[in-house]
Amino acid sequence: MLSVKRITKIFNTGTINEKVALHDVSLKLDEGDFVTLIGSNGSGKSTLLNCIAGVYPADRGSIVIEGKDITNLCEYKRAALLGRVFQDPMMGTASDMEIEENLALALRRGKRRGLRWGITSPERERYREILKKLGLGLEDRLNIKVGLLSGGQRQALTLIMATLKEPKLLLLDEHAAALDPRTAKKVLGLTDRIVNDSNLTTLMVTHNMRDAINNGNRLMMMYEGKIILDIKEKEKKKLTVEDLLERFEVASGKEFADDRALLS
Amino acid sequence: MLQILTAAISLGLLWAIVTIGVYITYRILTIADLTVEGSIVMGAAIAAISITRGINPYVAIILAFFGGLGAGLITGLLHTKLKIPSLLSGILTMIALYSINLRIMGRANISLLQVDTAYTVFEEMGLRSTVSVILLGLIIVAGIVGVLYWFFGTEIGCAIRATGNNPQMVRAQGINTNTTIILGLMISNGLVATAGALIAQSQRFADVQMGIGSIVIGLASVIIGEVLFGRRGFASRLVSLVLGAIVYRVIIAMVLKLGMPANDLKLFTAITVAIALSLPVFRSYLKPLKKSIKWGK
């Protein structure tokens, strides 16, 4: 499904601020895998996601999705294969545009855009149905500006947009981190539902150990630009936070020190 | 008095097209595009030289439109492909257009007193020249408003609107933001050049200096329209731009009538725009932030 081979990404090459964000990272996701990717600040997890999404090119290595080499494809062309939700709730939607306009933009992801109407009536019905299932009361507000929604509502909408046209791979970049705990839980619940309903291959970056353990069928941990743990299926089901901390220490030779990951 | 008013309205209608062009870059793409100062003259220059060479005045307007598209394309390429900041890209094209416009005209100004213009047909029907301008102006402005309302509702139009709002999101939806920015700049400058062609024909001359301050006049009109007529749906937005441009011209006519020296006009306009642009700052002291809608119902 997704195959990342020996990706290296260095920022500020040749300067005093040189930072190796990704060091020879390889990973393989199978069809339907839901991987949670955890690591502390600066471990390279967001960089990995951004390299896959094409926000910036990798310095070395290759990225293949379903047999298609996308290593040198620019961001907007890769978008045909990818659904993305960002950490910042403002990032995933156009705030001055209506809910239905945002959805209509997302429905046409990867398609050639022409001079047909931007939204059609049957589409509107479909949006109403989908939003109804969310239970946020948005189905009657298709025409309000997205800027008027709360952060949680915007993330829920972005999640719908990312999966409206089924992506080959769903990339979630700490998409619940900027929300209050109650709202974050709702958004994560919604994530689980959508991913399971359509059996989407998903890579979810998170800061939160508990979320990383409770979601998905596979857990990876990054440290200093490398993937140091890859825990699968059965083994992951039995995993506890204590186990994870212990295995981190064994794998990295250091004590895990990230208050945000531990306390939340 | 009535005469001053009709003159102001006729001029306002033609400048409404400039205003719509400025709106597309300034509000939709959120780029302050100074190309306008050059493309308005380019439109005038192309129309003037074409008409004096015997080309049909309406064809001359279409040629001017295409000239404007080209000017917008250059600014767009400078900004997107060569990564030059948008403001600077516009300035570069504007300066380049000064020379290009002189080359198009072959001299600094061209008189159109002795030739038929786009308004001649109406004047031959017995209408006064300002009334002819209002009539043709209305027809063209209505056409442009209609076409733009349709265009910005299409898939491409929606993509352009979203680009100014959140380019990151637009790329994530598989849209090339370079293309949408270039398209927006082209349409904007195409419209401005069309306006230049119409203005030159109504004042019966084209002058290489006539573009100075046009971006500020355009901005002033956009803001007046928003302040007076609100910022609701897209259709009413377009109409408010037209009304804004007319109100601006009426205000200027009044101020001149009250005895302000014409030389101070640009200073007056600049101060008005500065005040209008800083309004949100003052307003934020007075009004609490807009409330957001809570989860669920």
A61-115 tens-digit pLDDT: 999 999 999 999 999 999 999 999 999 999 999 999 999 999 999 999 989 999 9
Among the residues of B24-56, which ranges form H helices? Answer: 35-52
- Residue A137 has a pLDDT of 86
Residues of chain A neighbouring B176 (CB-CB closer than 8 A):
76
Six-digit token pair at A80? 């045909």
Q: How many CB atoms lie within 10 A of CB A199?
A: 12
Q: Is the distance from CB of B24 to CB of B81 less than 8 angstroms?
A: no
Residue A228 in this model has a pLDDT that exceeds 80: yes
3-state helix, strand, coil in chain B (%, to 5): 75, 5, 20
Please give the structure tokens belonging to residue B287: 């009004």
Reported as a single tens digit per residue, the pLDDT across A147-169 is 999 999 999 999 999 999 999 99
CB A93 within 8 A of CB A157: yes
In this structure, chain A runs to a length of 264
Across-strand partners of A223?
A: A226
Name residues whose C-beta falls within 8 Å of residue A117's C-beta, 6 or more positions apart in sequence.
Answer: B153, B154, B155
Spell out the residues 6+ positions from residue B151 whose beta carbon is closer than 8 angstroms to its own.
Answer: A115, B157, B187
pLDDT at B157: 97
Residues with Cβ within 8 Å of residue B226, at least 6 apart in sequence: B240, B244
pLDDT by residue (tens digit) across A126-149? 999 999 988 888 999 999 999 999
**Average pLDDT over chain A, rounded to whole?**
92
Q: In which band, very low, low, confident or very high, does the pLDDT at B295 lie, cut at 50, 70 and 90? A: very low
Name beta bridge partners: A3. Answer: A28, A64
Residue B8 lies in a domain: no
CA of A115 vs chain B CAs: smallest distance (Å): 5
B155 contact A CB<8A? yes
Of B167, B169, B191, B190, residue with least CA distance to B179: B167
- B297 pLDDT band, cuts 50/70/90, is very low
Q: Is residue B7 part of a domain?
A: no
Task: Please indicate if any CB of chain B lies within 8 Å of the CB of A90.
Answer: yes
Rounded to an integer, the average pLDDT of A45-66 is 94
Percent of chain A at pLDDT above 90? 80
Q: What is the ipTM of this complex?
A: 0.90
pLDDT the model gives residue A136: 86
B279 belongs to a structural domain = no
The encoded tokens of residue B177 equal: 């933001």
Q: pTM for the full model?
A: 0.92
Is the confidence at residue B291, as pLDDT, over 50? no
Closest CA to B58 of B68, B47, B45: B47
- Nearby residues of A159 by Cβ (< 8 Å), 6 or more positions away: A85, A175, A187, A190, A191, A194
User: For chain B, how many structural domains are there in total?
Assistant: 1
> What is the pLDDT confidence band of residue A261, given thresholds at 50, 70 and 90?
low
Note whether residue B117 is domain-resident.
Answer: yes
Above 70 in pLDDT, residue B128?
yes
Q: How far apart are CA B202 and CA B181, in angstroms?
A: 32
Q: Is some CB atom of chain B closer than 8 A to the CB atom of A105?
A: yes
Instruction: Note whether A8 and A60 are within 8 A (CB).
Output: yes
The mean pLDDT value for A221-237 works out to: 90
Structure confidence at residue A251 as a pLDDT band (50, 70, 90): confident
Judged by average pLDDT, the poorest of A145-154, A163-172, B195-204, B268-277 is B268-277
Q: For residue A259, what pLDDT band results from cuts at 50, 70 and 90?
A: low
pLDDT at B292: 46
Mutate to test the interface with A, among B23, B155, B163, B180 (most CBs of A within 10 A): B155
Judge whether B208 and B102 are in contact, CB under 8 Å: yes
Q: Given an 8 Å threshold on Cβ–Cβ distance, is B172 in contact with A53? A: yes
Residue A91 contacts B where some CB pair is shorter than 8 Å: yes
What's residue B45's pLDDT? 98
**B245 lies in some domain:** no
Of residues B2 and A27, which shows the higher confidence score?
A27
CB within 8 Å: A118 and B171: no
pLDDT at B258 over 70: yes
Element (H, E) at B65: helix B57-80
Mean pLDDT lowest for which of A248-252, B94-98, B206-210, B254-258? A248-252
Q: Is residue B225 part of a domain?
A: no
Contact criterion met (CB below 8 Å) for A113 and B155: yes
Looking at the domain assignment, is residue B86 inside a domain?
A: yes
Domains and CATH numbers, chain A: 2-81+167-263 (3.40.50.300)
Stronger pLDDT, A91 or B292, i.e. the higher one: A91
Interface test with B, best of A103, A105, A142 (most B CBs within 10 A): A105
In chain A, which residue's Cα lies nearest the Cα of B152? A118
H or E segment at B249?
Answer: helix B234-257
* % residues pLDDT > 70 (chain B): 96
| Contact by Cβ (8 Å): A93, A161 | yes
Sheet bearing A82-85, strands edge to edge: A82-85, A169-173, A202-206, A34-38, A218-223, A226-232
Q: What is the pLDDT of residue B296?
A: 42
Q: What's the half-sphere exposure (Cβ side, CA atoms, 13 Å) at B64?
A: 35
Structural domain boundaries enclosing B101: 13-211
Question: pLDDT tier at A11 (50, 70, 90 boundaries)?
Answer: very high
User: What is the three-class DSSP state of B154?
Assistant: strand
Tokens of A172: 């979630």
Q: What is the pLDDT of residue A254?
A: 77
Close Cβ partners of A93 (under 8 Å, ≥ 6 residues apart)? A102, A146, A154, A157, A158, A161, B166, B169
Q: Per residue in A178-202, pLDDT tens?
A: 999 999 999 999 999 999 999 999 9
Q: Is residue B82 part of a domain?
A: yes
Name the residue among A90, A94, A152 with its Cβ closest to that of B162: A94
The 3 state secondary structure assigned to chain A is CEEEEEEEEEECCCCCCCEEEEEEEEEEECCCCEEEEECCCCCCHHHHHHHHHCCCCCCEEEEEECCEECCCCCHHHHCCCEEEECCCCCCCCCCCCEHHHHHHHHHCCCCCCCCCECCCHHHHHHHHHHHHHHCCCHHHCCCCEHHHECHHHHHHHHHHHHHHCCCCEEEEECCCCCCCHHHHHHHHHHHHHHHHHHCCCEEEEECCHHHHHHCCCEEEEEECCEEEEEEEHHHHHCCCHHHHHHHHHHHHCCCCCCHHHHHC
How far is it between the farthest Cα atoms of chain A? 59
Say yes or no: B278 contacts chain A, CB-CB below 8 A: no
pLDDT tens for B149-170 read: 999 999 999 999 999 999 999 9
Question: Comparing C-alpha atoms, which of A172, A232, A194 is closest to residue A33?
Answer: A232
pLDDT band, very low/low/confident/very high, at B294 (cuts 50, 70, 90) = very low
Mean pLDDT of chain B: 93
Q: Is the pLDDT of residue B287 over 80?
A: no
Residue B174 gets the label, from left (phi > 0), alpha (psi -120 to 50) or beta, of left
**pLDDT tens per residue across span B3-51:** 899 999 999 999 999 999 999 999 999 999 999 999 999 999 999 999 9
Residue B280 pLDDT > 80: no
